[in-house]
Amino acid sequence: MSDAIKSTLSEDRKFEPNAEFSKAASFGSAEAFEAEYRRSIDDAENWWAEQAKSLIPWMKPFTKTLQWERPYAKWFVDGETNASWICVDQHLKTDRKDKVAILFEGEPGDVRKLTYAKLHAEICKAANALEAMGLMKGDRVAIYMPMVPEAAIAMLACARLGCPHNVVFGGFSADSLRDRINDAECAAVITSDGGFRRGKPLALKAQVDEALAEGRCPSVKKVLVLQRTKQDVTMEAGRDHWWHDTVDKASAEHKAQPMEAEHPLFLLYTSGSTGKPKGIQHSTAGYMVGTTLSSRHVFDLKEDDVYWCTADVGWITGHSYIVYGPLSNGATVLMYEGAPNTPDWGRFWDIVERHKVTVFYTAPTAIRAFIKAGDEFPNGRDLSSLRLLGSVGEPINPEAWMWYHTVIGKERCPIVDTWWQTETGAIMITPMPGVTSTKPGSATRPFLGIDAEVLLEDGTPAKANEGGYLVVKRPWPSMLRTIWGDNARYEKTYWNRYDGQVYFAGDSCRKDEDGYFWIMGRVDDVLNVSGHRLGTAEIESALVQHEAVAEAAVVGRPDDLKGQAVVAFVTVKTGVEVTDALKKELRDFVGQQIGALAKPDDIKMAEALPKTRSGKIMRRLLKDIAAGRELTGDITTLEDKSILDKLRS
Ligand code: WT7
């Protein structure tokens, strides 16, 4: 283990901005940033209007900045633009035409460089092919792809036509894919035969076939299939079309259609504390303003940067910070298909060295895995091209932050720990590189235009260092517009907590004496496993679908590598024998139902679950048991106390 972690560090350690970096940063000084921040809050509408006019091109200018009918926001409502046109067409009139837009590295080592001109041509071809298949503005399109340039091309082709995309992470199962297709009533699916992961071709088209089988996705009329791995697939005549037979043969000219500012750009499903995943709906213009602004300032993008965000396009991080934000800024975006440990744990550093990556954005779970793998991997590579590091997805523990700072950043690169969510569309709390002094483990302070606060249960602001709920007090352009088809759930989940007055993020947080935010984690039944968001309710409902299972309760357990591990407490039906084979079967069953990322790390077979007299499972106790902690809090409402001893033994 590296010295950086062994050293004992108190969390009040503070790192001043690197003076060399500050010279060329977006904001030269803390005062300059502070003044801009104040204006962005005190004169919010005018400030956002200025941003919207200068950051993105418009097909029809807007005259109205914000229409706020609590809790529904419309931004720039009478304006028109097109996200695909913003991301590519605007650069074609400049020197960026021949600049590399997407620098792709496949897991097997194949490298492709797509200039903005080439990317534009590919998007136009895909848009023409989709149109020829009968897709029209407003039709939803599911995208289930590996991390290859065509995933971004498919998204931008949909945006060009005004077809909201619904990207489903390739690690989700056929059942999860089907649920997401059906909830959004998608007219088409864009997929690939498969992708390369840990040296193996993974199958995607086969999963699509399973999802669509027996007419179980009645809305889907067409499936477009990219050939990536060349594995055998079955093609259904009339429904399925090869990318190389359609897209590759289509015209490379396509005029982007003007979209109303509020036209939904995409839906992205994410887990909540109850029920099925919800379709988070994002707009066109507001989302583009938020992602363009944050990419530019938070990542300090400069013309010659090679920017690499290691997320998958299946998550919001991939949407906002692989595709829309960086491309809108005309950046060179590196895209890597595979696993961080293929062929070994040095792969990322090898990529950084060979492609001279300058800005690198990853998740704490990856950082912790690198720490465990050993410093010899990064130390064996030339990382001198790096100038800025980012972290996202979960709280970064100070030890991981220090390792990132010393071993990767060589104490030279600013670290931006960015807090945000699928719902917020863009980064909300983050240091400004070159400006904000950083403290390991804190996302520091709200970004421009973001009025964040920590509130107590009763709605009063928490005092310094007092824990409370993280909220946002005013609307911001890239905020979610609603949950697809379910306004009631939108209101209930995000707004009812404080009478519709503020956006409730679902995270607990404290603000220290310097006004720095320390995110403590979810307050609801949402887990964060390796930076992936999972609902305990989803995993429970998968488990109880198994014939052997009577009841299931799922909780998170702190985990050094994953942040949280999934622990399932399961009772079986009478007569079922509890064996290790059954446990394995249940894990695999969850994998099939949801996806491998949701497989419980630990299944604890129980005779009964601890319940209140009114029959409610006492999850709080299960969390303590899972973590091997002393039981906390009141247990007087527990119906049968002997259950606890049995569970602990
Ligand atoms: C939840 C949102 C937004 C990109 C990826 C996750 C947690 C996210 C941080 C951070 C502490 C963080 C929160 C949040 N989270 N970033 N920098 N520090 N916690 O998006 O899947 O919508 O999850 O991730 O708990 O609510 P998501």
Is the peptide bond prior to 378 cis by the omega test (within 30 degrees of 0)?
A: no
What's the CA-to-centroid distance between 165 and ligand 1, angstroms? 22
| pLDDT, tens digit, 9 for 90 and up, residues 574-585 | 999 999 999 999
DSSP output for 289-355: HHHHHHHHHHTT--TT-EEEE-S-TTSHHHIIIIIIHHHHTT-EEEEE-S-TTSSSTTHHHHHHHHH
The pLDDT value given to residue 638: 85
Burial of residue 593 (number of CB atoms within 10 Å: 0-12, 13-18, 19+): buried
Instruction: Determine if ligand 1 sits within 6 Å of the CB of residue 533.
Output: yes
pLDDT band at 90 (very low <50, low <70, confident <90, very high): very high
For 79, the 3-state DSSP assignment is coil
**CA-angle at 270, arms to 267 and 274, nearest 5°:** 125
Owner of token pair 């990382």:
383
Res. 5: pLDDT tops 60: no
> Ligand 1 pocket: which of 294, 394, 401 to mutate (most atoms <8 Å of CB)?
394
Instruction: Determine if ligand 1 sits within 6 Å of the CB of residue 317.
Output: yes
Instruction: Determine if ligand 1 sits within 6 Å of the CB of residue 523.
Output: no
Say what percent of the chain tops pLDDT 70: 98
Instruction: Determine if ligand 1 sits within 6 Å of the CB of residue 283.
Output: no
Nearest alpha carbon to residue 443 among 541, 534, 364:
364
Which residues does 84 contact at the CB level (< 8 Å), separation at least 6?
A: 123, 127, 156, 157, 159, 160, 256
DSSP output for 583-646: HHHHHHHHHHHTBGGG--SEEEE-SS--BBTTS-B-HHHHHHHHHTPPP-S--TTBS-THHHHH
The pLDDT value given to residue 9: 44
Res. 106: pLDDT tops 90: yes
Instruction: Determine if ligand 1 sits within 6 Å of the CB of residue 247.
Output: no
What's the CA-to-centroid distance between 427 and ligand 1, angstroms? 10
The pLDDT value given to residue 26: 84
The pLDDT value given to residue 646: 85
What's the CA-to-centroid distance between 426 and ligand 1, angstroms? 11
Name the token pair of 255.
């005029």
Give the position, in ligand 1's atom list, of the atom nearest the Cα of 533: 21
Res. 18: pLDDT tops 50: yes
Supply the mean pLDDT for the chain: 95
| pLDDT, tens digit, 9 for 90 and up, residues 456-471 | 999 999 999 999 999 9
Least confident of 252-261, 263-272, 628-637: 628-637
Compute CA distances 77 → 134, 423, 473, whole Å.
28, 20, 21
Instruction: Determine if ligand 1 sits within 6 Å of the CB of residue 120.
Output: no
Question: Dihedral of CA 417/420/83/166: which sign?
Answer: positive
Which residues does 245 contact at the CB level (< 8 Å), separation at least 6?
A: none
Cβ atoms < 10 Å from Cβ of 614: 7
Least confident of 9-13, 160-164, 505-509: 9-13
| pLDDT, tens digit, 9 for 90 and up, residues 159-198 | 999 999 999 999 999 999 999 999 999 999 999 999 999 9
Owner of token pair 């003076």:
19
The pLDDT value given to residue 588: 97
pLDDT band at 630 (very low <50, low <70, confident <90, very high): confident
What's the CA-to-centroid distance between 2 and ligand 1, angstroms? 27
Instruction: Determine if ligand 1 sits within 6 Å of the CB of residue 310.
Output: no
Largest CA distance in the chain: 74
DSSP 231: -
Angle between helices 174-184 and 205-212 (to 10 degrees): 60
The pLDDT value given to residue 105: 98
Give the position, in ligand 1's atom list, of the atom nearest the Cα of 521: 25
What's the CA-to-centroid distance between 506 and ligand 1, angstroms? 10
Least confident of 340-349, 420-429, 523-532: 523-532
For 577, the 3-state DSSP assignment is coil
* Inter-residue long-range contacts of 42-46, CB under 8 Å, 24+ positions, other chains counted: 44/449, 44/451, 44/474
Res. 34: pLDDT tops 80: yes
What's the CA-to-centroid distance between 443 and ligand 1, angstroms? 11
Instruction: Determine if ligand 1 sits within 6 Å of the CB of residue 443.
Output: yes
Res. 495: pLDDT tops 70: yes
What's the CA-to-centroid distance between 420 and ligand 1, angstroms? 5
What's the CA-to-centroid distance between 338 and ligand 1, angstroms? 22
CB 247 within 8 A of CB 129: yes
The pLDDT value given to residue 1: 31
Cβ atoms < 10 Å from Cβ of 77: 18
Give the position, in ligand 1's atom list, of the atom nearest the Cα of 522: 25
Question: Dihedral of CA 468/474/479/480: which sign?
Answer: positive
Which range has the top average pLDDT, 9-13, 24-28, 155-159? Answer: 155-159
Give the position, in ligand 1's atom list, of the atom nearest the Cα of 317: 4
The Cα 49–Cα 611 span in angstroms is 53
> Ligand 1 pocket: which of 368, 527, 528 to mutate (most atoms <8 Å of CB)?
528
The pLDDT value given to residue 7: 38
pLDDT band at 275 (very low <50, low <70, confident <90, very high): confident
The pLDDT value given to residue 478: 98
| pLDDT, tens digit, 9 for 90 and up, residues 537-571 | 999 999 999 999 999 999 999 999 999 999 999 99
Nearest alpha carbon to residue 490 among 481, 498, 499:
481
Q: Whose Cα sits closest to atom 17 in ligand 1?
A: 419
| pLDDT, tens digit, 9 for 90 and up, residues 197-233 | 999 999 999 999 999 999 999 999 999 999 999 999 9
What's the CA-to-centroid distance between 85 and ligand 1, angstroms? 29
What's the CA-to-centroid distance between 149 and ligand 1, angstroms? 25
What's the CA-to-centroid distance between 368 and ligand 1, angstroms? 17
What's the CA-to-centroid distance between 541 and ligand 1, angstroms? 24
Q: Whose Cα sits closest to atom 13 in ligand 1?
A: 394
The pLDDT value given to residue 515: 96
Compute CA distances 361 → 340, 370, 520, whole Å.
13, 14, 21
Mean predicted confidence (pLDDT) in 407-434: 98
The Cα 179–Cα 542 span in angstroms is 13
Amino acid letter for position 55: L
Name the token pair of 402.
């220090």
Res. 274: pLDDT tops 90: no
Burial of residue 172 (number of CB atoms within 10 Å: 0-12, 13-18, 19+): buried
Q: Which helix H or strand E contains 490, and what residues bound it?
A: helix 487-494
Instruction: Determine if ligand 1 sits within 6 Å of the CB of residue 422.
Output: yes
Which residues does 119 contact at the CB level (< 8 Å), separation at least 6?
A: 88, 101, 102, 149, 153, 156, 327
Instruction: Determine if ligand 1 sits within 6 Å of the CB of residue 312.
Output: no
DSSP 474: S
Instruction: Determine if ligand 1 sits within 6 Å of the CB of residue 556.
Output: no
The pLDDT value given to residue 168: 98
pLDDT band at 439 (very low <50, low <70, confident <90, very high): very high
Say what percent of the chain tops pLDDT 90: 91
Instruction: Determine if ligand 1 sits within 6 Å of the CB of residue 294.
Output: no
Burial of residue 147 (number of CB atoms within 10 Å: 0-12, 13-18, 19+): buried
> Ligand 1 pocket: which of 419, 470, 517 to mutate (most atoms <8 Å of CB)?
419
What is the number of residues in the chain?
649
| pLDDT, tens digit, 9 for 90 and up, residues 285-344 | 999 999 999 999 999 999 999 999 999 999 999 999 999 999 999 999 999 999 999 999
Give the position, in ligand 1's atom list, of the atom nearest the Cα of 443: 17
Nearest alpha carbon to residue 116 among 357, 331, 355:
331
**CA-angle at 560, arms to 556 and 564, nearest 5°:** 20
Is the peptide bond prior to 343 cis by the omega test (within 30 degrees of 0)?
A: yes
Instruction: Determine if ligand 1 sits within 6 Å of the CB of residue 392.
Output: yes
For 203, the 3-state DSSP assignment is strand
pLDDT band at 4 (very low <50, low <70, confident <90, very high): very low
Which residues does 425 contact at the CB level (< 8 Å), separation at least 6?
A: 282, 286, 287, 290, 291, 316, 320, 478, 479, 480
Res. 3: pLDDT tops 50: no
Res. 69: pLDDT tops 90: yes
What's the CA-to-centroid distance between 623 and ligand 1, angstroms? 21
Compute CA distances 187 → 29, 166, 304, whole Å.
50, 11, 40
What's the CA-to-centroid distance between 518 and ligand 1, angstroms? 12
Q: Whose Cα sits closest to atom 1 in ligand 1?
A: 421
pTM above 0.75, yes or no: yes
What's the CA-to-centroid distance between 120 and ligand 1, angstroms? 32
The Cα 233–Cα 247 span in angstroms is 19
